[in-house]
Structure 1
Amino acid sequence: MADTSAVRSIEEAEPVPIRLDGPAGKRDIEISGLTWWGDRLLLLPQYPAFVSDSSPVIYSISRSDLKTAIETSVEGADTGAVMPQPLSVDIDDPRAVPGYQGFEALAVSGREVYATVEATGFAGGLFGMRAFLGRGVADSTRSPALAFAETSEIPVPVSMSNMGFEAIVVTDTTIIALFEANGANINPAPRAMQFTRDLRPLGWLPMSSLEYRLTDATALDHAGRFWVTNYLYEGDEAAMDPAPDSVALDFGVGSSHRSRVTVERLVELEVTDGSISRTETPPVWMTLTNGTGRNWEGVARFGDGFLLATDTFPETILAYVSRSTSSRPLTPDTTQSSDEMSMTSGR
């Protein structure tokens, strides 16, 4: 990361691991996103069609099972692993998308299901990254759907290898797709693409610069705020070309990050009239491990904190992170976002 030697150190949050049993805990599951569907947390594999010997699946875990697992882990007990349940999904073979590279983000609002797909191919006469936003209709009692009724291409603002739209935010009337690379040196005019709920393009929303990678987003709260996973793998430093890190300069840097290139944190953003910007809420820095950085690709709110998931690197990890460094994680989980409440009520 950029030099932060003159920036004060701040406390970090320790991720509390949640052991996963069954196929969803395997390293090659490649989790790309997390989202809530009623009282079930959905885990999106990058390649749903490749993770089952039968029909394509995503995975779910009940809210109550997660709460029990987290509380026992914090108390130092171990009552066994959580077993994510497979949910069959209908997929109009996404490999028909030229250069298909898998699913990157998932959001559910009522019976509407939105997902982004990453691809490579020719656009505007040039070969590079391409991205698509799809909309499907969920079976409200059985399974979400990835068979899309509509699909819209998302223009890629900056052509960088393996950089696409890795996060989706759903408002009352729109869908916002967030690009992965928004640092000042590589994307001088960062912006998110906005669509109607039936995927008509509404144009770009300017947003604050954010160094490193943006890999997933929570649902909006009632104030239009959401959190994003913000990650830098040390091997990507040259490609990401970080500018001075405004988040660290404003709030301080996590204590274990001072001598490391790797960055693992959560940053809060908000949707305002015509733009997306950082809030005045301090970020949540995760305590780094001694080994390879954890590529956090999924985030969802939970109680007073967050659930996080990695993809392949360094392995499949599901963890709880408190917003408080005290590691006392859960108050009664009644603070659902507007989207979560609409899902529960079957809007």
Structure 2
Amino acid sequence: MAVAAAAVLSACQIPSADPEARPDLEPVTATATPVQMRTGYPEQTVQTVPLAGPAAEPEAEISGLDWFGDVLVLLPQYPDRYDHNLFGLPRQALAAALSDPGKTPIEPFPIPLVNGSELRSLEGYEGLEAIVFTGSRFYLAVEGRSKGRMLGYLIPGKVLGNLDGLELDLANALLLPPQTSLMNKAYESLLIQGSQVVAIHELAGKETNPERHALLLSAELEMVGTLNVPEVEFRITDATRLDRYNRFWAVNFHWPGEKQLPTQADAIRERWGEGASHKDVAIVERLLEMEIRDGRIALVDRPPVELVLLDEVVARNWEGIVRWADEGVLVVTDRFPTTILAFVPFPENE
């Protein structure tokens, strides 16, 4: 299987720009002026990338995305459902699919998690939530639940060869402190800032996580400190890498059936208004731009990018996001309503 993966890579890799690159944009100075009317960007329609094979199955429950070189790595929540494999898509195949929407679905190749069976040894193990690569190393965010409380783990690992496999370093796994008593809520976003790892909890709401903060850790997973996090209602499910200004995009999602999360107040909606498909609908599918500055994470003073909703009932549970050059982002859902990989263009005036 490793040989097959390597063969696919060698055949498909092409020279390209840094997949996380974006045009240089000068940082924006925040303003406290209240806005009472719709001032945001137009809602963006997603362009789906048809998938084939195991990764296209809802049971894959894709929970995160990141780039390793020119390969997009898709993280299934439970790799043991697929012989302990993650999935990879070459950039060239993605570019071809985006340029020809009617093209035959593309099938991600398997990436072995060589000691993935050991994940079940973690107390309360409930699957993988995020992945981030830095050089030949990677980190996984893992969710768990035990004795009525949520657990989070951060696990380091190394890349074998040219993505021939991934090897976990479970001996150095770190148990992350919980930030809320709400069930099924843990750390879902990982960033690399210089040589440090940033772990962001999925809840940052006024009521759901009043002590909200991100964890700052060394490459060896020693605790360095914390970063204050802005008030963001609903869930933050994944984040892109940082750009040169320490900015990133995060997925902000809400499904009305999530009864644990209050929906009465949403400062972002009050600040920028809402698009046509979001108006008077409880579903939230949007991208927020944030930045790390002055020892904290802050919202950039730009409107959110809302996605045109399917309808008033069906919510797409976007769980992964990466940049697509300077054109937009790629996002992916878990099993609800099914596996969807899609491109979201940046608004024209972004």
TM-score by length of 2: 0.85
How high is the sequence identity, in percent, across the aligned residues?
32
User: Offset of 1:281 from its aligned partner?
Assistant: 2.5
Q: Residues 113-172 of structure 1, C-alpha deviation per residue, up to 9 Å, x if partnerless?
A: 1001100125xxxx3000000101112413352412521111011111100101101111
Classify 1:142/1:189 alpha carbon distance in 2 versus 1 (closer, same or farther; 3 Å).
closer
Q: Residues 185-207 of structure 1, C-alpha deviation per residue, up to 9 Å, x if partnerless?
A: 21123111111011001232111
Contact in 1 for aligned 2:250/2:290 (Cα 8 Å): yes
Match of 2:125 in 1: 100
User: Offset of 1:92 from its aligned partner?
Assistant: 5.1
Correspondences of 1:53-132 after superposition (within 5 Å): 56-73=84-101, 78-90=102-114, 91=116, 93-122=118-147, 127-132=148-153
User: Offset of 1:46 from its aligned partner?
Assistant: 0.2
Match of 2:66 in 1: 35
Q: Which amino acid aligns with 2:217?
A: F
Classify 1:110/1:157 alpha carbon distance in 2 versus 1 (closer, same or farther; 3 Å).
same
Contact in 2 for aligned 1:113/1:146 (Cα 8 Å): no
Give the secondary-structure state (helix, strand or coil) at the position aligned to 1:255: coil
Contact in 2 for aligned 1:305/1:322 (Cα 8 Å): yes
**1:158 equivalent among 180, 195, 220:** 180
Q: Which amino acid aligns with 2:302?
A: T
Distance 2:151 2:273 in 1: 36
- Structure 2: where are the runs of 5+ without partners? 1-34
Q: Residues 56-86 of structure 1, C-alpha deviation per residue, up to 9 Å, x if partnerless?
A: 100010111111111212xxxx121111111
Match of 1:181 in 2: 203
Give the secondary-structure state (helix, strand or coil) at the position aligned to 2:104: coil
Report runs of 4+ in structure 1 exceeding 6 Å deviation: none
How many aligned positions are there? Answer: 311
Q: Does 1:250 align with 2:244?
A: no
Distance 1:8 1:82 in 2: 38
Distance 1:263 1:140 in 2: 40
Give the secondary-structure state (helix, strand or coil) at the position aligned to 1:268: strand
Q: Which amino acid aligns with 1:314?
A: P
Contact in 2 for aligned 1:11/1:325 (Cα 8 Å): no
Moved more, 203-212 or 225-234: 203-212
Correspondences of 1:116-265 after superposition (within 5 Å): 116-122=141-147, 127-148=148-169, 150-236=172-258, 238-242=259-263, 244-265=265-286
Q: Residues 245-297 of structure 1, C-alpha deviation per residue, up to 9 Å, x if partnerless?
A: 22222222122101210000100111113111111122110000124100000
Classify 1:143/1:270 alpha carbon distance in 2 versus 1 (closer, same or farther; 3 Å).
farther
Classify 1:146/1:293 alpha carbon distance in 2 versus 1 (closer, same or farther; 3 Å).
farther
Q: Which amino acid aligns with 2:52?
A: D
Match of 1:289 in 2: 310
Q: Which amino acid aligns with 1:302?
A: W
Give the secondary-structure state (helix, strand or coil) at the position aligned to 2:120: helix
Correspondences of 1:291-310 after superposition (within 5 Å): 291-303=313-325, 304-310=327-333
- Structure 1: where are the runs of 5+ without partners? 327-347
Give the secondary-structure state (helix, strand or coil) at the position aligned to 1:256: coil
User: Offset of 1:7 from its aligned partner?
Assistant: 5.2
Distance 1:285 1:147 in 2: 36
User: Offset of 1:8 from its aligned partner?
Assistant: 5.9
User: Offset of 1:239 from its aligned partner?
Assistant: 1.0
Q: Which amino acid aligns with 1:70?
A: L
Contact in 2 for aligned 1:5/1:258 (Cα 8 Å): no
Contact in 2 for aligned 1:298/1:309 (Cα 8 Å): yes
Give the alignment's Cα RMSD to 1 decimal: 1.8
Give the secondary-structure state (helix, strand or coil) at the position aligned to 1:239: coil
Q: Residues 25-57 of structure 1, C-alpha deviation per residue, up to 9 Å, x if partnerless?
A: 1111100100000000000000111123xxx10
